[in-house]
A and B are shown apart, each in its own frame.
Chain A
Amino acid sequence: ETGVTQTPRHLVMGMTNKKSLKCEQHLGHNAMYWYKQSAKKPLELMFVYSLEERVENNSVPSRFSPECPNSSHLFLHLHTLQPEDSALYLCASSQIGGAGELFFGEGSRLTVL
């Protein structure tokens, strides 16, 4: 496998469910990111992990909980979400000290009923 892979690609959940999004990168990068993309809004940075440590939490509600067990894997745990959390969640990776390019996964389309 190459690049950045995300699972599941589509997820429908109720407001009381608990689910997780998974991201895996095969690029040897040492930084990973979660972004939220909603219609007519810029990409919103949620979390940044650098060398497996969280370095940024962009005022994200606690119903979103990230986990980075190693430099290749990133999870986003979801619980008691709201309908306005419905969006495309994108994982990305980059190399610290590199030129700043981000490499994105295909995204997980989340619908909260």
Chain B
Amino acid sequence: QKEVEQNSGPLSVPEGAIASLNCTYSDRVSQSFFWYRQYSGKSPELIMSIYSNGDKEDGRFTAQLNKASQYVSLLIRDSQPSDSATYLCAVDSGNTPLVFGKGTRLSVIA
């Protein structure tokens, strides 16, 4: 059973701080990794994808991947109240549909 684990939170950070969201996965052959953001009452939307070890930056968001340790993380710099949402980690092993974690609920306090 392929699993993706996330701390469900809530993770509370003050406005302007760095939010760090973590995800571990069980399938060592996983190739592609995604972070989706889901606002309350809305559908998930893709915000970051990462395919190789290291960091990938996009604006205030940085995805980090460590395949040896089987974890992927998402850092949000200068967190804003509008970043308050549930963040879903998803993992693609190449020949099966994406496997999602339960999501981490982030609350940015103004």
Binding site for B on A (CB under 8 A): 33, 40-43, 45, 48, 56, 90, 99-107
Say whether, besides A43-B88, A43-B100, A105 and B4 are in contact (CB < 8 Å).
Answer: no
Q: Does B60 contact A (CB under 8 A)?
A: no
Q: Are A41 and B43 in contact, with the CB atoms below 8 A?
A: no
Q: Are A41 and B102 in contact, with the CB atoms below 8 A?
A: yes
Smallest CB–CB gap between A30 and chain B, Å?
14
For B88, the closest partner residue in chain A by CB is: A43
Residues of chain B from 10 to 42 with CB closer than 8 A to chain A in the complex? 32, 34, 42
Q: Are A99 and B98 in contact, with the CB atoms below 8 A?
A: no
For B5, the closest partner residue in chain A by CB is: A42
| With A99-B32, A104-B44 already in contact, 10 other A-B pairs whose C-beta atoms are closer than 8 Å | A42-B4, A42-B99, A42-B101, A42-B103, A43-B44, A99-B49, A100-B92, A102-B46, A103-B46, A107-B42
Most-contacted residue by chain B among A43, A56, A103 (CB, 10 A): A43
Q: Does B45 contact A (CB under 8 A)?
A: yes
A33 to B92, CA, bound (A): 15
For A48, the closest partner residue in chain B by CB is: B97
A56 to B88, CA, bound (A): 22
Q: Are A101 and B43 in contact, with the CB atoms below 8 A?
A: no
- Contacts A/B (CB < 8 Å), 25 sampled: A40-B102, A41-B102, A42-B103, A43-B44, A43-B88, A43-B100, A48-B97, A56-B97, A90-B44, A99-B49, A99-B51, A100-B34, A100-B49, A100-B92, A101-B46, A102-B44, A102-B90, A102-B98, A103-B46, A104-B43, A104-B44, A106-B42, A106-B43, A107-B42, A107-B43
A90 to B98, CA, bound (A): 14
A41 to B98, CA, bound (A): 15
For A41, the chain B residues whose CB sits under 8 A away are 102
A56 to B99, CA, bound (A): 14
